[in-house]
Amino acid sequence: DGGITQSPKYLFRKEGQNVTLSCEQNLNHDAMYWYRQDPGQGLRLIYYSQIVNDFQKGDIAEGYSVSREKKESFPLTVTSAQKNPTAFYLCASTEGRDRWEGTEAFFGQGTRLTVV
Amino acid sequence: RKEVEQDPGPFNVPEGATVAFNCTYSNSASQSFFWYRQDCRKEPKLLMSVYSSGNEDGRFTAQLNRASQYISLLIRDSKLSDSATYLCVVGHSWGKFQFGAGTQVVVTP
């Protein structure tokens, strides 16, 4: 079955460490996204990628980095520069540019990151 | 002002009753609209897209009012399983979806 897989489901990080969250999709979608969700708040866009080898900053990109070397993969690195990284991270994907209008986003199951 | 705003609720609804709530958006160029459902500590899942003419899916009805820039969701004959947070999602340019903070619905026996 096609879908998006995020791993790990739970992640604990010590202060000062970088951690990488995995996101893989087999939907053949061109666009992929990373969102962060804090309690009582909506999803906020961290980074998004419309095509392989290209990505754009979202609304809260500081302290995060991404890469898009393969169409199916869009890993997110939470760096030590991110001051408050404890949150629920969601990866999503949508169909390609020519078919974007009206298409919905498919989400992974999320990674819950906790700084200890 | 947030680009997408929702009443956070909670809306406490007796089982079998009807509940409705809105979502306002600020970007008049918005092109696509969706309602997602999110259960506690889970990922959002698409409930329904919202079309210009309005659309219905079983007990759920979605409406779009472009003039006043809001979308609405109505749930009829509420079930206990409808308890969740409902996220309004608006897309207005390629690759940019804006999410509301969600409206919490609690259906009580």
pLDDT higher than threshold 90 for residue A9: yes
- Inter-chain CB proximity A101 and B32 less than 8 Å: yes
A89 has a pLDDT exceeding 80: yes
pLDDT band of A95, cuts 50, 70, 90: confident
Q: Which amino acid does the sequence have at A36?
A: R
Which of A27-41, A77-91, B91-105 shows the highest mean pLDDT?
A: A77-91
Interchain CB distance below 8 Å, B32 and A97 = no
Q: What's the rounded Cα separation, in Å, for the pair A49 and A74?
A: 8
Summarised one tens digit per residue, pLDDT across range B47-105 is 998 988 889 999 999 999 999 999 999 999 999 999 999 999 988 765 567 888 899 99
Q: What pLDDT was estimated at residue B31?
A: 81
Q: Do B42 and A110 touch (CB under 8 A)?
A: yes
Average pLDDT rounded to a whole number, residues A98-104: 57
Pairing of strands A10-13, A111-115: parallel
Model confidence at A11: pLDDT above 60: yes
- What pLDDT, on the 0 to 100 scale, is given for residue B77? 98
From the candidates A7, A30, A37, which should be mutated to test the interface with B, based on the most B CB atoms within 10 A? A37
pLDDT at A100: 46
CA-to-CA distance for A81 and B68, rounded, in angstroms? 41
Note whether A27 contacts B: Cβ–Cβ < 8 A: no
The answer on pLDDT for A48 being more than 60 is yes
